[in-house]
Structure 1
Amino acid sequence: MTRSRLLTAAAGLATALSVLVALVATPAQAASTVHYVALGDSYSSGVGAGSYTSESGSCQRSTKAYPALWAAANAPASYVSKACSGATTATVVSSQVSALSSTTTLVSISVGGNDIGFADIMKTCALYGTTECVAAVQRAEDKARANLPGLLNNVYNAIRSRAPNAKVVVLGYPVFYQLNTTCVGLSATSRAKINEGINLVDDLTKTTAAQHGFKFGDVRSIFVGHQLCSGDKWLHALNFADLGISYHPMATGHSGGYLPVFRTNAA
C-alpha cells in the first residue's frame, strides 16, 4: 500500500472512531437531565461526617453527606444543597425552598427533629436521670402528635409549589440505640423511650409525605446493627468535646445508610 493510501485509510479510521465516540457519548450526555436540590437539617447537611465546605459556614454541609455523595456518583445536570444544621420546618420554608424552580427534577429533605427539640431532649437525657429523660421524650411525643403533621404540610406544600415537576424524597431519622445489649451511659428505660420517640417522628413523617405523593426514605432498618451500643456504630455518641456532632451519622452512616436508601428512592 502506498504512503498516500495509508494516510487516507488512517484518516478514514480516525473519522469512524470519532463518530463512534460521539454515538457512545450522546446517551450519557442526554442522561444528565437531573436538576437536584437538597434541603433540610443537619442529617442532610452532614453534621458529624466531617469535610465541611467553606461556603456552608455554620450550616456545616459535608462533601461526605448523602446528597453530595449521590451527586458525585450520578453527575446531575445541576446540584445544590441548602441543607443546614439547626434547620426547622419554618427555616426550610423561609430560606431554603427558594432554591427550587419549575426545572427542579429531584428534591431530598430531612426535617422535623429540631421542631420537637431533638437536641434539647438528648442533653436532658445525658445530664439528668431516667425520670427527666422519659418525661422530656413524652413531652416531645405529645408535641409531635399535635403539631408535626401540620408543620410538615407547610414544608411539603412549599416544595410542591416551587418545584411542581420534581420527585421528592423525604428521608427519616435512624433509631439511635440498639436495645437489649450491655451499654454504658443512659439507662435501658431511657434508651427505649428515645427510640420510641424517633419511631413516632418517622411514622408521622412517612404518613404525611405519602399524603403529598412523596417518597419516604426509611433509614431505620439499614441502621440496625450500626446503632449506638452496637459493635459497628454509624452514629456519634454523646461527645462533650463537640456536642454538635452527638447523635449524628458518621461518614459511614451517610455512605452505608442514607446513600443507598436515597439512591433507591431517587431512581
Structure 2
Amino acid sequence: MAKKSGGGGCLAVVLVVGLLAFGYYKWQHGSSSAPPEGVDTGGGSGRYVALGDSYTSSPRTGRQAGTPAGCDRSDDNYPHLVSAKLKPAQFADVSCSGATTDHLSQAQKTGNGTNPPQLDAVTAETTLVTLGIGGNDIGLIAFASSCATTHQNSAPCRDRLTAGGHDQLAERIDATAPKVGALLDRIHEKASKAKVVVVGYPTVLPDGNGCWPSLPFGAGDIEYFRGTLGKLNKMLEDQADAHRAGYADTATPGKGHDVCSASDTRWVEGLLPASPAIPLHPNARGEQGMADAVLAVLKLP
C-alpha cells in the first residue's frame, strides 16, 4: 500500500534531484586518473572484443581500467568477468560511457580523452564480440532528472513524450533498429569467424508503481519507462536474431533485482547509489548477472 505523501517526501525528492545532477556532471566529465591498458593477454586462445555503452563499461563499480579515463571502464564489468572465465589470448574492452551506435564507427570525445571508433578493435582474428548498445540512442538515462516529481501518481515524462499521440521513445527505438542491424553486419564482415552476442539491458524498474520518494518518479512514468525498456530489449533481440547473433537476456534474471529492491540484492542502483556505481546503472552484482547471461549464451558455466 502506498504511503501518504508529505513534506518529508517532497524534501527527499529535492535532495535526490540535486545530488543526481551533481553526480551526472561528475560522470560526464570523467575521472582524473587512468592507468594505461591496451589489449590484455590471458595466455589462452582467441580474441574477445567488448563493445558498448555505460551499462557495459560499468562506471565506478571497480578500479578504473583502460583509457581514455572519460570512458569510465571498471575492471569488474561484465566484459572483464567474461574474459576471466574464457581466458582468451587477447581481450579488448573498448566500451565507453555515453556511447551511441554512432560511436561504434566514429571517435567519441569524453570529458577526459577521446575513444577511437569501437569497431577498430574488431579484427579478422577476433573470435568473440559482445555488443551492448542502444540506450543512449533512445535517451533513457538522460530523462532521469527531468522526470523526478513531488506527485506520486503523476506521469510528467509519459505525458510529454507521448503528446499528440506520438511516442517519441518508441519512435527512437524504431529508428535505432536498422543501425544496430548494420553494426552487426559490419562486425561479421570484419570478423567472419567470431561469435557475436548482443547483450540486453537488465531490469531497472519494478513491477507496480515503484518506490516513491526513494525513486521520485510518478507511477505512470514507472509504467511507461518499464514498457519502453522492454521495447528496447525486444528490438535488440530481434536484430540479433535477424543478423546471425546470439542474445543475452539480462532482464529476465534481473527481475526482482531492480532499483527498488533491497540494497543487498539489487543489480541496478537508484538515484542515490547504495553500492559503488553511478545512478540508474548496474552495480558489481548486476555486472556479474550480466556476465552470467553472456556465459549462458556461450554455453559456459
CA contact (8 A) 1:121 1:136 kept: no
Residue aligning to 2:247: 216
| Structure 2 CA distance for partners of 1:182 and 1:41, relative to 1, 3 Å | closer
Residue aligning to 2:197: 169
Q: Identity of paired residues, percent?
A: 29
Residue aligning to 1:192: 223
Residue aligning to 2:187: 159
**What per-residue deviation string (whole Å, max 9, x for no partner) do you get for residues 59-80 of structure 1?**
0111110110111233111101
Residue aligning to 1:136: 161
Unaligned runs of 5+ in 1: 1-30
| Structure 2 CA distance for partners of 1:113 and 1:79, relative to 1, 3 Å | same
Once the two structures are TM-superposed, the CA of residue 48 in structure 1 deviates from its matched residue by 4.5
SS state of the match for residue 252, structure 2?
A: coil
Unaligned runs of 5+ in 2: 1-42, 107-116
Match of residue 290, structure 2, among 243, 249, 258 = 258
Once the two structures are TM-superposed, the CA of residue 163 in structure 1 deviates from its matched residue by 1.0
- Single out whichever of 219-228 and 52-61 deviates more from structure 2: 52-61
Once the two structures are TM-superposed, the CA of residue 122 in structure 1 deviates from its matched residue by 2.0
**What per-residue deviation string (whole Å, max 9, x for no partner) do you get for residues 93-148 of structure 1?**
22011111111000001001111112222222126874431133731112212x01
| Structure 2 CA distance for partners of 1:175 and 1:136, relative to 1, 3 Å | farther
**What per-residue deviation string (whole Å, max 9, x for no partner) do you get for residues 170-225 of structure 1?**
00111211123661221222111111000000001110111011001010111111
CA contact (8 A) 1:87 1:114 kept: yes
SS state of the match for residue 210, structure 1?
A: helix
AA matched with 1:132: P
1:234 paired with 2:262, answer no
1: CA distance between counterparts of 2:209 and 2:170? 25
Q: CA RMSD in A?
A: 2.1
SS state of the match for residue 137, structure 2?
A: coil
Q: TM-score, normalised by structure 1?
A: 0.81
AA matched with 2:45: T
Residue aligning to 2:278: 245
| Structure 2 CA distance for partners of 1:55 and 1:143, relative to 1, 3 Å | closer
SS state of the match for residue 135, structure 2?
A: coil
2: CA distance between counterparts of 1:192 and 1:215? 28
1:178 paired with 2:202, answer no
| Structure 2 CA distance for partners of 1:48 and 1:181, relative to 1, 3 Å | farther
Residue aligning to 1:107: 129
Residue pairs, 1:52-67, within 5 angstroms: 52-53=64-65, 55-67=67-79
The count of corresponding residues between Structure 1 and Structure 2 is 232
| Structure 2 CA distance for partners of 1:56 and 1:266, relative to 1, 3 Å | farther
1: CA distance between counterparts of 2:208 and 2:140? 23
CA contact (8 A) 1:124 1:136 kept: no
- Larger-gyration structure (1/2): 1
